[in-house]
Amino acid sequence: MARLSSRQWLLAMAALCVAAVGIALVSQHVFDMQPCPWCILQRLVFLVVALLCVTGALVGAPVARKVFAAGALVGSLMGATAAMYQHAVAAKSSSCALTFADKVLAALGVEALAPWLFQVTATCADAAVSVLGVPYEYWSLALFVLLAIASLRVLVQRT
């Protein structure tokens, strides 16, 4: 893995983000694990990080790639924060209407753009499920941490 170029790292990161959203969609539409606002916010962050990574991989200048990697790092840290908040606070609440996540999603209007992807269909308490004994948001947190580490790898890489 040390031999991967910054471009390859960024593309791998984008693929992981898209895979995470794909898994979330399968969980929702096949296994009926309905998402809350915090789940949807994390989907959105994964897609933004993927977009930053793909854009960074496509630019020619190494400095520009580092700028996009820095953006991916910030996005990954934001996603990790959302996952931790979801577990520590939101999942213990019977309602997550009008929380930060709900307000961001409403302000961006993403649900109207792609309801199959961004529609909130559960409360935070109802969306608190585990996969293989691990809370779903911890899986998201783990991937955001891996993305942050990979972003740092791109930032410190020489080329």
pTM of the model: 0.93
As given in the structure block, the two tokens for residue 59 are 């630019």
**Is 117 inside any structural domain?**
yes
Lookup result for tokens 């019977």: 94
**What is the Cα–Cα distance from 8 to 10, expressed in whole angstroms?**
5
**Is 1 inside any structural domain?**
no
Diameter over CA atoms, the chain? 49
Alpha-carbon dihedral sign for residues 29, 145, 135, 96: negative
As given in the structure block, the two tokens for residue 72 are 């991916």
pLDDT single digits (tens) 23-61: 999 999 999 999 999 999 999 999 999 999 999 999 989
User: Could you give the number of structural domains in the chain?
Assistant: 1
For residue 88, the enclosing domain spans 6-156
**Is 25 inside any structural domain?**
yes
**Is 149 inside any structural domain?**
yes
pLDDT single digits (tens) 99-130: 899 899 999 999 999 999 999 998 877 777 88
Which band of pLDDT confidence, cut at 50, 70 and 90, is reported for residue 155? very high
* CATH number assigned to the domain comprising residue 19: 1.20.1550.10
